[in-house]
Structure 1
């Protein structure tokens, strides 16, 4: 199949490279000339494990190319995926669909023969209807079908998620489009990955509902963690005990400083706004958003409390700045609110992240260190915010020797209290009684 991916960001680039690896001919298009130039030189705009090698091998094989010219690519395409950003709109929290609609209008001008136009971007219910209207209005002679095909990629594990998905959701209203999409995903379908065909509006809602449910699950265990601290229970044991129930499952039951990233914050908010617009409020999700927002700054106050309530003039080291490991994504990272809370209280903050420092420089005014031990030098407290693998086996005696006071605040429960305290640290975890 001849595939065009409009948008060469996280979703478009990963999806395009994986489709090319299946044997399809893929053209990734982006208006940012510097991004396309970098991709043509083998330089990735994002950090995603294995992506650079996947792109390189498929470019060498001639199945994957990059361009700023949309028209010629669409003219030759069987399928055109829209994979542009849908950030929260300033002022009201609705998903900003301006990039989606602009892409639809531009695609319409170049359609030749039957073409399937697929919204891969995360979009509210009814967006596919509007995309169809725009294309038909722009080019009344166009022969096309609009399909919804939401992505379910986890940053840091996106390639594996694409190639070994739990499910592939496709919302269609046209039998011809159903056949085309079956062929697009045939390599996965033959491996028995569930190909779930639904109505287009149902498909659009599935993505938002899935992300909202996972966000609620994270928020639920974080509230249970707070209760554990008050009653003398252990949240990790609680998580294990309830996660073994097949109806609940163990994933997303790890207590921490709150969720962040490019999906959960904006998607939960967009779902709330959609529900309000249709007079069907989703109170659980509204509450989830409020709890999560408050939790991030509460983690900063937790650090202040660990230092006796006064951090003015004290250096605090932050281990991990991205919202999760194996990505350079800083969007809505808990570290942002934690750092700001500490700075507001007069602390001097230093941070280190294996991949996120360049993006962090644009979001926070702190000192950046070259490694975990450099962060610890002269620190009154060390705070583990993001659970990168290189933070899981730190040299604790070395850390202590570098610090002014040995206070270790573990917001991801990476370590055992007995292990850290044996080296003379004042250790604070999540969901455990001090």
Structure 2
């Protein structure tokens, strides 16, 4: 099929490359000429395992990029994959989506025949029907449900495994209001259903599809925060939280996923999505107390790490290495990384901070330009009074003699990845 995708960020680029891999002809539309040039040259604009290979393989063939919205006219369906960042109150900023809807509507005014517009961005319930569709109608002069339809297809991609998650999903959620829209969505995703390992295909209404994404992430974020809350209690009683969490994970009603207690959750999805659904609930007069508690627990975890350090010495004037700057291993994304509040707290306490990460250093340097960065973990540990592990990169589990170069050899492990050894004043966060 001929598909167009508006937006070439993390979701849009992954979507385009994977659709091309499924055999569709895809055009990416983006206002950023540098990104368009990069995609057409076969280079992915973001760091994501497996994505470079797909972009390089299909660029100039089944995958191309442009700044010209008129390229959409030759496609059957358009996926809107644009950012929906948080406003100060936690609600989502829809300006990029609104601008795209206006531009898409103007383009569709020139098209003869039917077109399907699918929201891929994460938006709160009713957005597609009450914000996106009316703007397309106004700009195109066409009527939704007649000359075009809207739909919703939420993404469940994890950074670091996005390509794998798309090509082998647990579920495919298709939200629409007409049989014609469902038929076209079925046709688009048929190659994926045939290739993947028997994913569940959920057909539902548009606003239900919008809510499924938020409910999915809110549940996972809350599960992590509950695991951390329980682990914090275990810590107070000298109980091994990992043994406790491993045992409860054997209960089929609970499951073992997302029970790894530690420094908390970050990234582009969990913080933004929990804030958005909390704000949306409050806009309707409902106070989501459990979700707010999950956020509060998550916000406190990095500060507990500093408390453990201060039990040993005053950080003022001390050299403290922060190992891991990305919000999770396998990505250079630092959005809402738990290393950020940790570094903030260390600087407020007067510590000299040195940071290291395998891939995220340049991004963190934009956030903290005045702290020291090293190109290896060993260099970060040299002459450090303490090391705080914020991201569970595999290479930190392999550290050994490197700790001998520290001054006081204090290691506070926020991810329980460093192996205890003689000569280290080691403590895990939970």
TM range (shorter): over 0.9
Query: Does the 8 Å CA contact 2:306/2:342 hold for their aligned counterparts?
Result: yes
Alignment correspondent of 1:31: 31
Summarize the alignment of residues 186-335 of structure 1 with structure 2, pairs less than 5 Å apart.
186-190=190-194, 191=196, 192-305=198-311, 307-308=312-313, 310-335=314-339
Mapped partners of 1:360, 1:349: distance in 2: 13
Alignment correspondent of 1:346: 350
Alignment correspondent of 2:163: 159
Q: How many residues align?
A: 420
Of 58, 69, 74, the match for 1:76: 74
Summarize the alignment of residues 27-66 of structure 1 with structure 2, pairs less than 5 Å apart.
27-59=27-59, 62-66=61-65
Query: Does the 8 Å CA contact 2:84/2:123 hold for their aligned counterparts?
Result: yes
Alignment correspondent of 2:391: 386
Mapped partners of 2:308, 2:35: distance in 1: 40
Deviation per residue, 1:11-43 (Å, 9 max, x gap): 000011000000000011111112222223333
Structure 2 residue matching 1:361: 3-state secondary structure: helix
Deviation per residue, 1:158-204 (Å, 9 max, x gap): 00100000001111001111011001110122243211100111010
Deviation per residue, 1:143-165 (Å, 9 max, x gap): 11000110000000000100000
Mapped partners of 1:290, 1:12: distance in 2: 31
Structure 2 residue matching 1:110: 3-state secondary structure: helix
Mapped partners of 1:17, 1:277: distance in 2: 37
Alignment correspondent of 1:101: 98
Alignment correspondent of 1:3: 3
Query: Does the 8 Å CA contact 1:79/1:116 hold for their aligned counterparts?
Result: yes
Structure 2 residue matching 1:245: 3-state secondary structure: coil
Deviation per residue, 1:241-267 (Å, 9 max, x gap): 011111111111011111110011110
1:415 Cα deviation after fit: 3.2
1:73 Cα deviation after fit: 1.8
Mapped partners of 2:309, 2:36: distance in 1: 43
Deviation per residue, 1:32-56 (Å, 9 max, x gap): 1122222233333221111111110
Of 376, 379, 383, the match for 1:374: 379
Alignment correspondent of 1:359: 363
1:8 Cα deviation after fit: 0.3
Query: Does the 8 Å CA contact 2:101/2:132 hold for their aligned counterparts?
Result: yes
Deviation per residue, 1:371-422 (Å, 9 max, x gap): 100100110011111011222211x12321x111111111101134xxx232
Structure 2 residue matching 1:109: 3-state secondary structure: helix
Residue 176 (structure 1) aligned with residue 173 (structure 2) = no
Mapped partners of 2:342, 2:173: distance in 1: 37
Mapped partners of 2:379, 2:283: distance in 1: 50
Mapped partners of 1:398, 1:32: distance in 2: 43
Alignment correspondent of 2:411: 408
Query: Does the 8 Å CA contact 2:305/2:429 hold for their aligned counterparts?
Result: no
Query: Does the 8 Å CA contact 1:304/1:342 hold for their aligned counterparts?
Result: no
Deviation per residue, 1:308-348 (Å, 9 max, x gap): 2x011111111110000001110010000001101111110
Alignment correspondent of 2:138: 137
TM-score by length of 2: 0.95
Mapped partners of 1:11, 1:205: distance in 2: 18
Q: Which runs of 4+ in 1 moved over 4 A?
A: none
Deviation per residue, 1:202-239 (Å, 9 max, x gap): 01000001100000011001111111111121111111
TM-score by length of 1: 0.94
Structure 2 residue matching 1:333: 3-state secondary structure: coil
Query: Does the 8 Å CA contact 1:300/1:339 hold for their aligned counterparts?
Result: no
Mapped partners of 1:45, 1:372: distance in 2: 27
Distance 1:38 1:59, change over 3 A: closer
Query: Does the 8 Å CA contact 2:115/2:149 hold for their aligned counterparts?
Result: yes
Deviation per residue, 1:242-296 (Å, 9 max, x gap): 1111111111101111111001111001001111112232210011112212222
1:117 Cα deviation after fit: 0.3
